[in-house]
Amino acid sequence: MSATAHRAIFDKVSLHQDIATVLIDEVTIRKRVRELGDIINREYARKDLLLVSVLKGSIVFMADLIRAITIPHEIDFMATSSYGAGVSSSGVVRILKDLNTSIEGRNVVIVEDIIDSGNTLSYLARIMQERRPASLRIMTLLDKPERREVDIHVDWVGFSIPNEFVVGYGLDYDEVYRNLPFIGVLKPSVYGASD
Ligand code: PRP
């Protein structure tokens, strides 16, 4: 049995009990994702397009976004790590998995779940620009502007949110809660603070 199988969280019957409030519900997310898909449809009609999802948090957004996009496009994935098991960004970005495809001469949109300090995207945008794409733009579902440490231009934001610890719709705490279908605020007691 793996070490994670012993974690107390797996004793829980429902993850919902750890949620203080629902910040963005399923219906609101669905509507906004459709709008973001329409933006891509308009901006990239009759153009080459590669969407790059930054694992793992963006997978749920990416899966819904590509189904809201009706024009032809390709997808690829990168994996980075910044948070570990903590709740704040370390400022250190590691590439765990690089793209499978060359982006030279291509129109690339990076798809993120959340921009917090900005360290991850600042680093990714820099190394991707060095690969000479025809264009490089950034779409994020969530933005926490209060937490920004580095200046970064974000082209499209789904929701600008306050500085709360959010989980669900792909976002995790300690690798759990990604499957919640809404964006919820985690009870502080879950990560060792008082509620
Ligand atoms: C999260 C999120 C972004 C990054 C944003 O990823 O998906 O990639 O942090 O934070 P920043 O703006 O402070 O750099 P995380 O490292 O938690 O990995 P995950 O997507 O696998 O959960």
Residue nearest to atom 2 of ligand 1 (CA): 114
Q: Is the CB of 128 under 6 A from ligand 1?
A: no
Q: Which of 116, 143, 155, 172 is catalytic?
A: 116
The verdict on residue 190 lying in a domain is: no
Distance 81 CA to ligand 1 centre (A): 7
Which residue type occupies 116? D
Per the CB < 8 A criterion, the answer to whether 98 and 123 are in contact is: no
The verdict on residue 192 lying in a domain is: no
The domain of 145 spans: 26-164
Q: Per residue in 10-69, pLDDT tens?
A: 888 889 999 999 999 999 999 999 999 999 999 999 999 999 999 999 999 999 999 999
- Read off the pLDDT of each residue in 175-183 and give the average, rounded to a whole number: 97
Distance 46 CA to ligand 1 centre (A): 32
The verdict on residue 116 lying in a domain is: yes
Write the CATH number for 79. Answer: 3.40.50.2020
The verdict on residue 8 lying in a domain is: no
What pLDDT sits at residue 192?
83
Residue 116 appears among annotated catalytic residues: yes
> What is the pTM for the complete model shown?
0.92
The verdict on residue 52 lying in a domain is: yes
User: What total of structural domains would you count in the chain?
Assistant: 1
What pLDDT sits at residue 102?
96
